[in-house]
Amino acid sequence: MTQYDAILVQPSEFQLPEHPIPLLVQLGLTYRCNLKCSHCYALYRRSRDEFSLPEIESLANDLYRAGSASLVYSHGENMIRRDFHDAAATFRDLDFYQTLMLNGFYVRTANDAQRLVDAGINRAMVSIDSIDPAIHDKVRGKVGAFDVAQRALRLLKDAGMPTVGFSTTIDTHNYEHVAQIVDFALALGVDAVSFMQNRYNLQGVFDRGLWPRYRDVCRDLYELTLEYQGTLDIYTHDPFMLTLLDDRMGDRANREAFIGSNLCNVGTSMVSIDPVGNVSGCNFIEESIGNVRDEPFADIWDRLVARYSDRTDPPSGPCGSCSALDGCLGGCKAFHYNGKYDERCGAQRFPDATPHAVGTAERGIPAPEPSRAPGVFVGLPRLRTGAP
């Protein structure tokens, strides 16, 4: 193997671990939120039967024993909980790397920002969906949300948070503005910006006319990622990005970071636990494989791996003959829900004229019946109703 070959690691080298470990946990401590975002997957789940602090402490130890090392706080606005800092300190003391997704409304003062640093939060990602305050406020359902988010970013930077950035939900309302959003991030001096396409995760609800434009957006984002390497971390969290990976990504570390940020890690290294204990593959998959209040987490993890593993049950059917399979391995599992491939995939998505020898631009491909035991449907996701 030449030095050049050693640099060109492939996505498949990262996607199929022989012994999956739940390294990354998407953890919700509450479904409560002070906003009503148009894209929210948890808007209809406002259960108050959320974890108590002793339950969180017990769960932290269970996750630590299972090999977990990193948390992303999600689902609701976790800072609504008055004991959030105590919960975060529990994970801090177990050396978890903690990422907090927040809307900024609970970081009003320098002291608020400092408390997060002291509680062990390593990365704070404030939601900003547009550089146009009116669009951001409309998406988030509250006037003034944009100004609040900007204030929180500055306070977190001033407090010495190790990594500060913002997360942007991209859709038709801001596809044309991704370059300006990156410029805005650079002007603010943040460390990272995360772009994530809205997940409309029920079969048959996709506007296939959207994907040619989104494909172009992904190409733009890839170029921006290359342009600002070392200055601004740009994440997209979409396996489709792996089909754009080329030699320009540079050294092995940069290439590995890009691959790692765009893999679908469901069933390999990621798990989601909601505020009432339901365990699923990720926040956007609407089924529960078990509940940590009813049985040990380790048992549920083994069952989840069996449910979603591409090693034991690789994508088949139309994916089997696709030239992009080595990169995406079936794509985003939230988009294909219970099937084994990304339902967005089709003639509009890839340069092949007929990637599956069927008119996928005109009609969908029926998902194969899963060979694994299904979970339990846990909620009704928001459906796409058009641009805000």
Q: Note whether residue 97 is domain-resident.
A: yes
Range name among 157-166, 216-225, 335-344 with the lowest pLDDT average: 335-344
- The Cα–Cα gap between 302 and 35 comes to 35
The domain spanning residue 302 has which CATH number? 3.20.20.70
- The Cα–Cα gap between 17 and 266 comes to 12
pTM of the model: 0.86
Higher pLDDT, 57 or 49: 57
Q: Note whether residue 18 is domain-resident.
A: no
Measuring CA to CA, which residue among 244, 235, 259 is closest to residue 16? 259
For residue 245, give its domain range. 24-308
Angle at 341 between CA 339 and CA 345, to 5 degrees: 130
Q: Note whether residue 382 is domain-resident.
A: no
Q: Note whether residue 34 is domain-resident.
A: yes
Q: Note whether residue 74 is domain-resident.
A: yes
Q: Note whether residue 384 is domain-resident.
A: no
**Can you state the angle between helices 133-140 and 145-158, rounded to 10 degrees?**
100
Write out the two tokens for 168. 């942007």
65-98 burial code (b ≥16 CB/10 A, e <16): ebebbbbbbbbbbbbebeebbebbbbbbebebbb
- The Cα–Cα gap between 318 and 340 comes to 10
- The Cα–Cα gap between 60 and 56 comes to 6
Each residue's pLDDT tens digit, 243-276: 899 889 888 888 888 988 898 888 889 999 999 9
Domains in the chain, number? 1
Above 90 in pLDDT, residue 60? yes
Q: Note whether residue 100 is domain-resident.
A: yes
Q: Note whether residue 266 is domain-resident.
A: yes
